[in-house]
């Protein structure tokens, strides 16, 4: 039983993450490597060492906003007097009568929203 525990500890490798506080230099060192005592980039001795059981995994790319998320836009909507002008401006758009008066445009996803806003001459902030 002692042999299996020794094998498990040999398989586990620990890591040290070196991060410089001045220039944001970062280096991942394994057990076999020596972590630097000063930053190789700027020579600073202001750094942090984090001890890890396994190397940090790279975060997956998150596709926020580009998947279809249908919504009805108030910003691209219009009142009854402007509807014909808006239909000419956005010929393939779908419209519905909004609660409380006026019309709303159907937006399928963020890419379409940006395109429609550009067609209308709007600019997105933040």
User: Are 115 and 87 members of one domain?
Assistant: yes
How many domains does the chain divide into? 2
**Which residues in the chain come in under a pLDDT of 70?**
1-13, 31-32, 54-67, 126
User: Are 18 and 45 members of one domain?
Assistant: yes
pLDDT of the residue at 22: 80
pLDDT of the residue at 10: 47
Residues 6+ apart with CB under 8 A from 10: none
Residue 60 lies in a domain: no
What's the domain range around 75?
A: 71-120
pTM: 0.46
pLDDT of the residue at 7: 46
pLDDT of the residue at 63: 57
**Local structure of 101: helix, strand or coil:** coil
Question: Please, is 24 exposed, middle or buried when counting C-beta atoms within 10 Å of its C-beta (0-12, 13-18, 19+)?
Answer: exposed
d(CA 60, CA 113): 25
Residue 3 lies in a domain: no
User: Are 45 and 79 members of one domain?
Assistant: no
């Amino acid at each position: 039983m002692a042999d299996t525990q020794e094998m498990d500890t040999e398989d586990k490798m620990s890591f040290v993450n070196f991060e410089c506080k001045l220039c944001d230099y970062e280096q991942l060192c394994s057990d076999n490597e020596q972590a630097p005592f000063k930053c190789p980039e700027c020579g600073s001795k202001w750094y942090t060492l984090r001890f890890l059981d396994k190397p940090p995994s790279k975060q997956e790319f998150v596709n926020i906003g580009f998947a279809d998320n249908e919504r009805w836009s108030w910003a691209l909507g219009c009142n009854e007097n402007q509807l014909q002008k808006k239909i000419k401006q956005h010929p393939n758009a779908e419209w519905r009568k909004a609660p409380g008066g006026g019309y709303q445009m159907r937006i399928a996803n963020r890419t379409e929203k940006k395109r429609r806003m550009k067609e209308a001459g709007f600019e997105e902030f933040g």
